[in-house]
Amino acid sequence: MRVDVVSIFPDYLAPLRLSLVGKAIETGLIDLAVHDLRDWTHDRHRTVDDTPYGGGAGMVMRPEPWGEALDDLVPAGTDARLLIMTPSGRPFDQRLAAELAAEPRVIIACGRYEGIDARVAEHAATRMRVDEVSIGDYVLNGGEAAALVIIEAFARLIPGVIGNPESLAEESHSADHDQLLEYPVYTKPAAWRGLEVPEVLLSGHHGRITAWRHERAVELTRRRRPELLPDAERTDELEVRPAV
């Protein structure tokens, strides 16, 4: 898979060279290129922003550099998917991560200021698939942090990136998981600062361990994300429990 990221802060994406995603890049599973949007400006000051039509605070990113960047990165006839990060975007979720993991080419546009001129998305959509995406209901200063999140979320789903693909199947939010949050996990020592590992996990009885883990996952999901519970697991009564 080829991933292109365009930003005025390309160094912000340096962490992608670390850890699992970095290994996937080194082994060629992912071909990552990070570009400086200012390389597509032509004035002495390498200007990428201007004042908003209609007034309002802040500046808006000019369409010309973005248009030229996309012309170069996505030649006519190329099958590519453009993600534009924006607080008003489609909520990013595991389903979209799985879709992106199957794409041959993804271009990620990281805006700054008050956003990118709306005509960039409109024009790009005449020749490629465009998704305006948000990673959550809070406001960031730009799209780079969101790009890091999204790239990690879909890269780890690419076959060969994660050492043990079985672990993907059990995760929260994964498409083939029943949408429960993960159960709590423990490792050695069995006793730590007066806190014991639940006995059942030391029993070696796999049936009981599986049942206990499912119960804990349902309990946690009911408490923290009841909307994810299948109807059969929902209860109406208010559960008064310590927030953990």
Ligand X SMILES: N#Cc1c(-c2ccc3ccn(Cc4ccc(CN5CCOCC5)cc4)c3c2)n[nH]c1N
Q: Identify which of 149, 153, 141 has the alpha carbon closest to the alpha carbon of residue 9.
A: 141
φ, ψ for residue 154 (rounded to 5)?
Answer: -90, -30
CB-nearer residue toward ligand X: 148 or 218: 148
- To ligand X, the closest distance from the beta carbon of 232 in angstroms equals 33
- To ligand X, the closest distance from the beta carbon of 57 in angstroms equals 7
Angle between helices 94-101 and 144-155 (to 10 degrees): 70
- To ligand X, the closest distance from the beta carbon of 113 in angstroms equals 6
CB-nearer residue toward ligand X: 91 or 226: 91
- To ligand X, the closest distance from the beta carbon of 56 in angstroms equals 6
CB-nearer residue toward ligand X: 9 or 113: 113
CB-nearer residue toward ligand X: 92 or 183: 92
CB-nearer residue toward ligand X: 10 or 115: 115
Structure tokens at 125: 């959509």
Amino acid at 126: T
Q: Which helix (H) or strand (E) holds 182?
A: none
How much of the chain is in helix, strand and coil states, percent to nearest 5? 40, 20, 45
DSSP conformational letter for 116: B
- To ligand X, the closest distance from the beta carbon of 64 in angstroms equals 17
Q: Vertex 108, ends 105 and 111: CA angle to 5°? A: 165
CB-nearer residue toward ligand X: 90 or 208: 90
Binding site for ligand X (CB under 6 A): 85-87, 89, 111-115, 133-136, 138-143, 146
In 10 A of CB 208, how many CB atoms? 13
- To ligand X, the closest distance from the beta carbon of 226 in angstroms equals 23
φ, ψ for residue 181 (rounded to 5)?
Answer: -75, 160
